[in-house]
Amino acid sequence: MRKALVLGGGGITGIAWQLGILSWLHDAGLDLTDADLVVGTSAGSVVGAQITSGTPLHELYRRQLEPPSTEIEARLPRLRMARFALAFLLERDPRRARARVGRIAHTSSTSSQTERRAVIASRLPAHEWPDADLRVVAVDAHTGDRAVLDREAGIPLVDAVTASCAVPGVWPPVLAGGGLYIDGGAYSPANVDLAEGYDRVVVLAPIPGGWGPVPGPAAQLAELPEKTRTALVTPDAAALDAFGGRLLDPARRAPAARAGRNQAPSVLTAVAAAWDG
C-alpha cells in the first residue's frame, strides 16, 4: 500500500498547527512521516521539508513554541487582495488568471527576496533535498502553470520552498532555475490531486476551502478513485480562534501549534483508519 501525506498552505499559523497535529499523532503511535510521498504547498512545503529532514517531530514542535525572532510579520493589503480577485473574475481561463496574478506580484513587490530567503532558510533544519519523495508546489509567474519541484528539478531546496511560500502581494516572486515563481496556493490550497495513484492519502489543510477556479482540498479528494482511503483534517473552532485570522503573524505561531496538539486526539481514529486501515 502506497501512502501520501499532503500538507496544505496557511501561513505561519498553518505550519505550527500542522506540526502540532503531526507531533501528537506520532506520540500516540501514528507516524505520518513514513509516507511514500509528501506533497507540500506554501506552508506545507516548509512542513514537508522539516519532517523529511530527519529532525524528530517533538523537536520541530518545540521550535514552534520559541519566540519567533527570525520571522517577519506581514499582511496582505485589502486593495491588493481585490486586484488578485479581480484577475480571476476577468480571466475565464484560470491559467491566464494565475499569470495575471504573477505579473501583479512581480510589479508590486517591495520586499527583499534575499531577506525572505534567509527567513525560509532559518525554518529548515536541512538545506539539501531529502532522500524521501518530497514534492514542493509553486506556480510559474509568467505562464500560470503549476510547477511541481523535487530533487530532480535542479533547484535548491531552500529556493523551492521560498518559491512555494511566495504569497503574491506579500513576498516577492522567486527567481530560481531560470524560472520565476509565486505561491503554490495560487493553484490550490493543498494540491491534493498530486496524490492520485496512492492507496492511502491523508491531507492536513489549514485553509479548508477553495474559491472560484481555485479547487479546495475536499473537492480534489472527491476526485480521487473511490478505492483510495482518505482523511482530511482541517482546523477546528479552537484552532481558527488561535489563528485569529492573522495567518502571517509570528505572534500566533505558538498558540496555533498548541491548538494542533489539542485537536489531534479528535482526528486520531479517522486518520488511523485511512493510514493503517
Is the pLDDT reported for residue 154 higher than 90?
Answer: yes
Q: What is the DSSP string of 16-75?
A: HHHHHHHHHHHHTT--GGG-SEEEEETHHHHHHHHHTTT--HHHHHHHHTS--TT-----
Q: Is 264 helix (H, G, I), strand (E, B) or coil?
A: helix
Told to judge if 183 belongs to the known catalytic residues of this protein, a careful annotator would answer yes
Average pLDDT (166-188) is 90
Phi-psi sector, 95: left (phi>0), alpha (psi -120 to 50), beta: alpha
**Predicted local confidence at residue 231, as pLDDT:** 98
pLDDT-based confidence at 75, cuts 50/70/90? Answer: low
pTM: 0.93
Give the residue carrying C-alpha cell 479528535: 266
Residue 74 reports pLDDT greater than 80? no
Mean pLDDT of the chain: 91
Q: Evaluate if residue 21 carries a pLDDT over 80.
A: yes
Per-residue confidence band for 77, with pLDDT thresholds at 50, 70 and 90: low
Q: How confident is the model at residue 94 (pLDDT cuts 50, 70, 90)?
A: confident
Mean pLDDT of 109-119: 82
Give the residue extent of every domain in the chain: 3-72+110-276
Task: Return the higher-pLDDT residue of 143 and 110.
Answer: 143
- pLDDT score of 84: 61
Catalytic residue among 140, 159, 183, 249: 183
> Over 80: is that where the pLDDT of 60 sits?
yes
CB-based contact 201:224 (threshold 8 Å) = yes
Lowest mean pLDDT among 58-62, 227-231, 248-252, 272-276: 248-252
pLDDT at 168 > cutoff 90: no
* Pairwise CA distance, residues 258 & 24, whole Å: 10
The mean pLDDT value for 161-168 works out to: 94
Which one from 23, 42, 45, 188 is the annotated catalytic residue?
42
Respond yes or no: is residue 131 known to be catalytic. Answer: no
